[in-house]
Amino acid sequence: MSTVDAERLIDIKRTRVGLLLTLIVVGSLSFMTPLRPRDPSVHSPDLPGLFLASCSSSSPGEQASAVLTGLSDQPDLFDWGPTWSPDGSKVAFASQRDGNYEIYVMDADGANEVRLTNHPEDDWRPQWSPDGTKIAFGSHRDGNWEIYVMDADGANPTRLTHHPAREERMTWSPDGSKIAFDSDREGQFEIYVMDADGGNLVRLTMREGFDGYPAWSPDGSQMAFTTDRDDNRELYVMDIDGANPLRLTENIAMDQAPAWSPDGSQIAFFSTRDGDAEIYVMDAHGQNPTRLTQVRGWGFMPAWSPNGQQIAFDSRRDGRRGIYVMNADGSNPVKISNTAVSAFITVARRQGVDEALRRYRVAKAALPEEGFFVEAEVDLLAYELLDAGHQEDALKLFIFNTEVFPNAENVFLSLGDVQMRLKNKAEAIQAYEQALALNPDRAATLDQLQQARLD
């Protein structure tokens, strides 16, 4: 990109600050519901977990896959708690985007988000059953936190626990016959196990302090968990009947939320041992701990893909909390739960510019009054495509920006520059004339228009 192009992008960013604020306010007033404060409890330090995702929906279908709205930029909303479907094609998560926490599901690349629960009280911490037909989750819909299960499409929610205590973090046995969870029904958090229909409850841990975040090993023989029985939160493993607890980590910081690799050889977790919450992985016996995330911004709640090649987690590394997927060695982290512009860029890169534009227009047609927007990242992608020789796709993005920001002279100046570069003189003159109409006092624009007429 030339120096002039770079300076133009800086101008675009400055111009768009006011535009984005206006769009966000307009979109939010018509689309948001008031947030209800909820005490996250001292037993839920992972709660400030993810960011807001790119697409909001209340029903399945194509429209739901493409709602790119100013709501995505509300900093106090976020998504969190990713969990993979057994076939690796989808990720379920909890989101506060519609005013309270609900369960959503999306494709593994972040596309086609669908809202599964719809209740005025909070639903979160989804966990897929091993056969993929059910999703267990925690819910406050009956006045306190209980364990529920529903069909994978959100139908038939059924309450499994019935106790005034708090019960929410759960894990399925590999054969799907049982669910382990933590509960403070005895006055402190302990780990329990029950049949998948809620029967035959058995308490597994009986120690002073906190025992929680159970994670069943893939072979069904052990359960990893978090405990503060040694003053700070560490990771332990025990037999599935609660016998033979063995300490895996020993660090003055907090180690929490264990997640077994599909082959049972490793355990991922998050830890504050390096001053920030980051994702780590270690051997299943506690050896060779390795830090996977290297960006300040916190990393929570790791979840392995079924093939063991990727780990989903939540982070706030870009300023808003959202869901990422990285390779199992920590490389190539990609945000799949995105702000609107990030969602647009992701679709454009992975599925093509035409598909990104199509999704935007479907969503805009469905919600014409909402504050849809893109920003300078689209210009960066357009210049990247232009430099790589993809002139047609690049031009589509520059034209798209003039549609989204019809009153911003800089987007028409960019379009004019690109049209001149592509030797489309008539189109360039038209773009410069529009820019001049928006700001008649800018001498530089008049100079560019006159030069285009002479060339």
| Alpha carbon separation from 60 to 64, 106, 116, 211, 360 (Å, rounded) | 6, 11, 9, 38, 17
pLDDT at 377: 60
Alpha helical stretches, state H, 324-390: 340-351, 353-366, 376-387
Q: Range with the lowest mean pLDDT among 50-64, 81-95, 277-291, 306-320?
A: 50-64
Q: Using N-to-C axis directions, what is the helix angle for 340-351 and 353-366, rounded to 10°?
A: 140
Q: What is the pLDDT of residues 183-242, one digit of tens each?
A: 999 999 999 999 999 999 999 999 888 999 999 999 999 999 999 998 889 999 999 999
pLDDT exceeds cutoff 80 at 444: yes
pLDDT exceeds cutoff 60 at 447: yes
pLDDT at 383: 85
pLDDT at 348: 79
Q: Dihedral of CA 441/443/444/445: which sign?
A: positive
Q: Helix, strand, or coil here: 392? A: helix
Residue 279's CB: how many other CB atoms inside 10 A? 29
Instruction: Please state the pTM of the whole predicted model.
Output: 0.64
Rounded to the nearest angstrom, the gap between the alpha carbon of residue 102 and the centroid of all alpha carbons in its chain is 13
Q: What is the pLDDT of residues 405-421, one digit of tens each?
A: 888 888 898 898 889 98
DSSP 122-144: -EEEEEE-TTSSEEEEEE-TTSS
Q: Dihedral of CA 177/183/187/189: which sign?
A: positive
The DSSP element (H or E) to which 31 belongs, if any, is helix 3-31
88 falls in which pLDDT band (50, 70, 90)?
very high
Question: Residue 348 carries which side chain, given as an amino acid letter?
Answer: A
Mean confidence (pLDDT) of the chain: 79
pLDDT at 309: 97
pLDDT at 341: 57
Taking the C-alpha atoms of residue 71 and residue 55, their distance in angstroms, rounded to an integer, is 9
Q: Which domains does the chain possess? A: 3-25+374-454 (1.25.40.10), 63-338 (2.120.10.30)
Q: What is the pLDDT of residues 291-321, one digit of tens each?
A: 999 877 678 899 999 999 999 998 877 656 6
pLDDT at 164: 93
pLDDT exceeds cutoff 50 at 22: no
